[in-house]
Structure 1
Amino acid sequence: MKRPLINTLKGVSILAIAGFLSKILAALYRFPYQNLVGDQGFYAFQQVYPFYSIITTLSLVALPNFLSSLVHSSDTPEEDTRQFFQLTFIFSIVACLILTLSSQPIARLMGQEKLAGPLVMAILPLLLVPFLSLYRGQLQAQNQMSKTALSQVIEQVVRVCLIIVAAILFTRLTNNIYTISFLAMLGSFIGGGMALVYLIFTTPFKMNALFSNFFTISSKRNVLKKFGIPSLVFTFFMVYMLLLQMIDVFFVKNALLNMTQGITSNQAEVLKGIYDRGQPFLQLGLVITTSILTDALPKLTKRGVVSNQIWQAVTYLSITITTGLFLLLPSMNDVLFKSHEYSFSLQLFILQIPLISMIQLHHHALFLAHKNKQSGLFLISGLCLKLILVYPLTSSFGLIGASLSSLISLLFVYLLYMIYSKKMPNALLNTRFWLAIIAMSFVILIGTHFFLVDNRLLQLIKIGLLTMISAAVFFKVSKFKLKTLLT
């Protein structure tokens, strides 16, 4: 299947809006959650979160997109849909069973056996994957994006509300961070369940026929063949950042325990929780560029190539957002997490934003050129480098080393893409852009160091005002018009 996902670009604006709202919610709830449960409680949640998030990505984007394109290109759409559902059903049951039985060993590899319970609950949404993927894929095939989008928002809203309720319970009923992590992950499962209930009641679809001829093997092989390299690489890229997080889950705490100065297990968990603060900052930085990309790419892709407009827009936006976040992050760390500790390691962590944004763009360009194997190899190379670097760098330099391991790995992937495609970031030669960055930075530094306030609410207001003023200065000096770049 040469172009298995192109048809899903229709109606992407609706999904982009839903995705934007969901990503905002996914980033913002972490701030009150950490304030309620502390750094160690945040650690207990973040250690199992990548498992849940990978599962959600499958049911939200990867598998529905594949089913949608499968239905469009198939001569026997009903038969292929049935085989798709049966394959995902078998996969989800087997994977859920294996991971559940392996939860204790996996938790030990993470460095904390008490994570086994939360891990089981994080894995449980696997059972929803075949059903959510089926409904969302069918709706996308019919170009009914609004129901898919609304199910996504319902899932996220219910999930976030129940996670916050679990965190509040921590302050009232128990001091066991692993119980709260378990309840938070239960909230995630219930959120997915509520999305499925909505889809069942609003989408006329007969499920009975999907279970007929369940053990026919040959037709299932045909569906697997149709999945192909393009869909595999697409799915791989969708979960790529989560796989980097997964590597951190297994190595960062264990590496911290082996630092030369020696720290206890509890101290290592607190440090890992502090390191995990970087994730919501990273998501907030990426939510703008990725959402704009999702909406703009179908419009700006011409004759199978990505236009220069989108290259410029992504370059300018990602660097500008990263610069602002980098300078404001110590203040944001104080306001949002009541701590100034390890701000530099978090600043290094968010430098991933422009790299991820540019990698996403290169990946899309190679997808359009049907060069998916090369893209897959570049991404795998980055994961391998992360695996090699994370333990020695973390054990030698602590959280700074952990941040550097991701940063170096992504830089390596970006360089591979850039060398292969021979696409240089010429937008960075724009002198006016750098003058605008300097002016914006000057405003932020002046505001941060000379207008001091103690109250957290006033500090938050100050950060908001600085963000708006510095953004206005940037666009004034640069003379860039975002609407012009993206139309």
Structure 2
Amino acid sequence: MSDEKRASHLVWRGAAILTGAALLVKIMSALYRLPYQNFAGDVGFYVYQQVYPFYALAVALGGTGFPIVISKYMAEAGERHSVKVEVQRHALIALMLICGLFFTVLFFFAQPLSAMIGDQHLPQLIRIAASVYLFVPIVALLRGTFQGDKENMLPTALSQIGEQVTRVCFILGLSWYLFLNHGDAYTFGLAATSGSAFAPLVTMIILILFLPRKKQFARELFSRPAAAINWRLVKNLIIAGCLFSILAVPLLLFQLIDSLTVLRLLGKVNLADPRAEKGIYDRAYMLTQFGIIASASLTAAMVPRLAQLTALRKTRDFQMEATLSIKVSLAFGAAAAAGLMTISREVNIMLFRNADGTAAFAIASFTMLTLSIILTASGILEANEKPWVPFYFLAIGACVKGAANYFLVPHFAIVGAALGTCMGTAVAAELCLVYLHRHTLAMRLSWRAVAKLGIAVSVMAASVFLWKKMIHRFTDMLSARPSATVLALSGAVVGGWVFIMILYMIRFLNKHDLKRLPIRRRKRQGEAAARSRKL
């Protein structure tokens, strides 16, 4: 096998491992919230969701952003061991500075932050969430080291899975205990936040176990450096690490804005308990996170391939691959958004026991489409070495979201907050598409492709609506939640089947698109390998 082919094989193998781990972690992250919300109730769910963005930012820094940047610098160092050690030292300094800043702000300013949010019972939870940042420097450094050294993705993947399993078991175990013993909402939130803070310790242990020469690694890392600190490199590491962290979880900015503004703005509405209303609104974020798993996996899988095409300067192939990625992402996002809108009431009852906030739930479903576009466009621009561009667009979208909250929430409560999220993500998605088209990184979809997708989505939504009408008289014999479960699950199956069949019948993906799909490429490579073995 040639060096180029071996490198390509390692890239795809590494992408597959990380994609599989990320998929499993995202599924667990979405699913554990269901029993937790059922145990803790809407107010308990609100308490945890208020501090969750602070924890999620630490996970993004230690799990995605900084490991990517560190691995890039490590890979560029090649076989020069001394250069790799200097990269590790400077990365540790960068991580300690940024994580120390976040820890200091969250831990020592938890009280004024709680006052800003509008709930004086949150300081203890915020301080516990702040403790996660103490683990991030070592975790991110080890992950980046493994990923940059012969592209070893296994330690990162196993540590991500181990951390999430520990976290989920810890949270659900304590929540079950509190449910049986009638714990209050803030005790539930404390239990969930404590589980999230404890899990990174497991991550660190798993990564250290994979380290072959532990004493040598520590001695080289903490011994007196031979040269002065390169503060320019430290600054570049901080900026790039934070940038990639935000791009990895584009919804985080919007969640953070909601945590800081929505509760206080709901106080201007005549509501019995604004905290419960915010908890109801937070239901939508869980489903949105679950709905964009396909797009996130697609993005993770396509970036290595697009980066290779960029390095080889194959502009036309890059453009074709990027256009196909957008096309597939649009199909996934549109189907998920329209499907959830159609069965939003049934899904709400099935998962959360009642139909409260269904209007906001249905509106927030639209973000599955916009976030799918943002994730895919971010992957394309990242592969083209322009990661700043989607970050700027996300920042603009976040500003739109913040302004929309202040204007809409006092008048429309959580429906206004859901509209604000849709508006902010839609602006960011549109800016990403315009940029890709203007800089010829991707072709504009033809009106025929858009029309075909519109037909498929419309037929799918109509078929689900008719299906619900047809079987409603049979499900009426059941109580509310079992009835909603049957309608939601069967509607999802019918809608998915109809959507795929319509896309196939109207040839949404043409023969050139099908040839470029990774599954087809692997099939042809397998057939070629089989023929060569016979020869």
Q: What TM-score do you get using the length of structure 1 for normalisation? A: 0.91
Structure 1 CA distance, aligned partners of 2:37 and 2:516? 37
2:156 matches 1:148: yes
Residue 180 of structure 1 corresponds to 188
Deviation, structure 1 residue 467: 1.8
Deviation, structure 1 residue 151: 0.8
Question: What amino acid is aligned across from residue 89 of structure 1 in structure 2?
Answer: M
Residue 222 of structure 2 corresponds to 211
Deviations 1:204-261 (A, max 9, x none): 23323322338x99424142244386555333322431111010011111111112xx
Structure 1 CA distance, aligned partners of 2:232 and 2:432? 32
Deviations 1:26-78 (A, max 9, x none): 11111111111100000001000000011011111111111111111235111
Residue 171 of structure 1 corresponds to 179
Residue 434 of structure 1 corresponds to 454
Residue 319 of structure 1 corresponds to 334
Structure 2 CA distance, aligned partners of 1:343 and 1:275? 9
Residue 357 of structure 1 corresponds to 372
Structure 1 CA distance, aligned partners of 2:229 and 2:76? 16
- Report if aligned partners of 1:44, 1:178 keep a CA contact under 8 Å in 2: yes
Check 1:241–1:427 CA distance in 2 against 1; reply closer, same or farther (3 A cut).
farther
Deviations 1:133-192 (A, max 9, x none): 121111111222122101101111110111112221222234321122112111112221
Residue 517 of structure 2 corresponds to 486
Aligned residue among 187, 194, 199 for 2:202: 194
Residue 93 of structure 1 corresponds to 100
Aligned residue among 157, 167, 170 for 1:159: 167
* More divergent stretch after superposition (270-279 vs 348-357): 348-357
Structure 1 CA distance, aligned partners of 2:514 and 2:33? 31
- Count the aligned residue pairs: 477
Check 1:374–1:133 CA distance in 2 against 1; reply closer, same or farther (3 A cut).
closer
Residue 140 of structure 2 corresponds to 133
Question: What amino acid is aligned across from residue 208 of structure 2 in structure 1?
Answer: I
Question: What amino acid is aligned across from residue 136 of structure 1 in structure 2?
Answer: R
Structure 1 CA distance, aligned partners of 2:158 and 2:347? 31
Check 1:300–1:212 CA distance in 2 against 1; reply closer, same or farther (3 A cut).
closer
Deviation, structure 1 residue 385: 1.8
Residue 275 of structure 1 corresponds to 281
Structure 1 CA distance, aligned partners of 2:146 and 2:15? 13
Question: What amino acid is aligned across from residue 69 of structure 1 in structure 2?
Answer: K
- Report if aligned partners of 1:315, 1:427 keep a CA contact under 8 Å in 2: no
Structure 2 CA distance, aligned partners of 1:140 and 1:43? 36
Question: What amino acid is aligned across from residue 271 of structure 1 in structure 2?
Answer: E
Q: What TM-score do you get using the length of structure 2 for normalisation? A: 0.83
- Report if aligned partners of 1:64, 1:136 keep a CA contact under 8 Å in 2: yes
Check 1:375–1:283 CA distance in 2 against 1; reply closer, same or farther (3 A cut).
closer
Structure 2 CA distance, aligned partners of 1:330 and 1:323? 13
Aligned residue among 239, 244, 247 for 1:237: 247
Partner-residue secondary structure (3-state), 2:292: helix
Deviations 1:376-416 (A, max 9, x none): 33222222222222122101111111011111112222222
Residue 104 of structure 1 corresponds to 111
Aligned residue among 290, 298, 321 for 1:292: 298
Check 1:9–1:59 CA distance in 2 against 1; reply closer, same or farther (3 A cut).
farther
- Report if aligned partners of 1:8, 1:69 keep a CA contact under 8 Å in 2: no
Aligned residue among 32, 46, 50 for 1:47: 50
Deviation, structure 1 residue 130: 0.9
Deviations 1:422-453 (A, max 9, x none): 35443774444333223321221122233232
Deviation, structure 1 residue 483: 7.1
Residue 56 of structure 1 corresponds to 59
- Report if aligned partners of 2:93, 2:234 keep a CA contact under 8 Å in 1: no
Partner-residue secondary structure (3-state), 1:339: coil
Provide the aligned C-alpha RMSD in A. Answer: 2.5
Structure 1 CA distance, aligned partners of 2:194 and 2:11? 31
Question: What amino acid is aligned across from residue 59 of structure 2 in structure 1?
Answer: T
* More divergent stretch after superposition (13-22 vs 280-289): 280-289
Partner-residue secondary structure (3-state), 2:354: coil
Aligned residue among 127, 131, 150 for 1:120: 127
- Report if aligned partners of 1:310, 1:485 keep a CA contact under 8 Å in 2: no
Structure 2 CA distance, aligned partners of 1:202 and 1:370? 31
Structure 1 CA distance, aligned partners of 2:276 and 2:112? 22
- Report if aligned partners of 2:67, 2:141 keep a CA contact under 8 Å in 1: yes
* More divergent stretch after superposition (119-128 vs 18-27): 119-128
- Report if aligned partners of 1:296, 1:486 keep a CA contact under 8 Å in 2: no
Higher relative contact order (CA 8 A, sep 6+): 1
Aligned residue among 471, 476, 481 for 2:496: 471
Question: What amino acid is aligned across from residue 91 of structure 2 in structure 1?
Answer: F
Residue 447 of structure 1 corresponds to 467
Aligned residue among 477, 485, 495 for 1:460: 485
Residue 3 of structure 1 corresponds to none
Check 1:387–1:222 CA distance in 2 against 1; reply closer, same or farther (3 A cut).
same
Deviation, structure 1 residue 92: 2.6
2:13 matches 1:13: no
Structure 2 CA distance, aligned partners of 1:450 and 1:217? 75
Question: What amino acid is aligned across from residue 337 of structure 2 in structure 1?
Answer: T
Check 1:376–1:104 CA distance in 2 against 1; reply closer, same or farther (3 A cut).
same
Runs of 5+ in structure 1 lacking a partner?
Answer: 1-5
* More divergent stretch after superposition (297-306 vs 362-371): 297-306
2:348 matches 1:328: no
Question: What amino acid is aligned across from residue 138 of structure 2 in structure 1?
Answer: F
Structure 2 CA distance, aligned partners of 1:485 and 1:131? 39
- Report if aligned partners of 1:109, 1:250 keep a CA contact under 8 Å in 2: yes
- Report if aligned partners of 2:90, 2:234 keep a CA contact under 8 Å in 1: no
Structure 2 CA distance, aligned partners of 1:278 and 1:484? 36
Deviation, structure 1 residue 347: 0.9
Identity over aligned residues, as a percent? 25
Structure 2 CA distance, aligned partners of 1:466 and 1:473? 10
Structure showing greater radius of gyration is 2
How does 1:346-425 map onto structure 2 within 5 Å? 346-422=361-437, 424-425=444-445
Check 1:48–1:484 CA distance in 2 against 1; reply closer, same or farther (3 A cut).
farther
* More divergent stretch after superposition (120-129 vs 79-88): 79-88
Partner-residue secondary structure (3-state), 2:48: helix
